[in-house]
């Protein structure tokens, strides 16, 4: 029974790892194609949550479910899970700090901004 659960977790981890690689590629393309800083924050969020958090959880499940690393698997799997937790906490905080600095100093394109709620909320 417990072997079934760990085997299913390892297969899910493989799927998360490969899917995370595809998410990372999509985010890197978006980082180059989007027009200004506030738009590139979307691509950065996809690249961090989809391209770093999911593959780390996937590697943790792979290491727990298969005997790829022998008796040291718990050290590596725990490190992967802790890194995933830290990425999930730190990436939105860092993105918010950068967005706040860009908003205060006006380092974004105002001609493609649809609405600015702090300037009266007028569209266009």
Partner 1 sequence: MIEPPSVDLVTQVILFAFPIFIVAYSLYLVRVVKGPTILDRVLAVDAFFFDVTVFVMALAAYFRLHILAPTAIIFALWGYALDVYVSKYIERGEMGD
Interface residue list for partner 1 (CB under 8 A): 3-4, 6-8, 10-11, 14, 17-18, 20-22, 24-25, 27-29, 31-32, 37, 40-41, 43-44, 47-48, 51-52, 55-56, 59, 62-63, 65-70, 72-73, 75-76, 79-80, 82-83, 86-87, 90-91, 93-95, 97-98, 100-102, 104-105, 107
SS3 assignment, position 114: coil
**In the numeric block, which tokens belong to residue 84?**
């995933």
Distances (CA, A) of 31 to 27, 28, 95: 6, 5, 14
In the block, residue with structure tokens 């996937």: 58
CB of 40 to partner 1, least distance (A): 6
């Amino acid at each position: 029974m417990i072997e079934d659960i760990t085997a299913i977790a390892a297969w899910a981890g493989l799927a998360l790892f490969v899917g995370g690689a595809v998410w990372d590629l999509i985010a890197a393309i978006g980082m180059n194609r989007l027009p200004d800083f506030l738009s590139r924050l979307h691509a950065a969020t996809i690249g961090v949550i989809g391209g770093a958090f999911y593959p780390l959880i996937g590697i943790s499940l792979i290491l727990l479910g298969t005997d790829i690393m022998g008796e040291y698997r718990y050290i590596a799997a725990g490190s992967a899970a802790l890194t995933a937790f830290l990425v999930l906490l730190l990436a939105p905080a860092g993105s918010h700090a950068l967005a706040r600095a860009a908003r205060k100093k006006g380092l974004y394109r105002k001609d493609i901004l649809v609405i600015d709620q702090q300037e009266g909320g007028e569209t266009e």
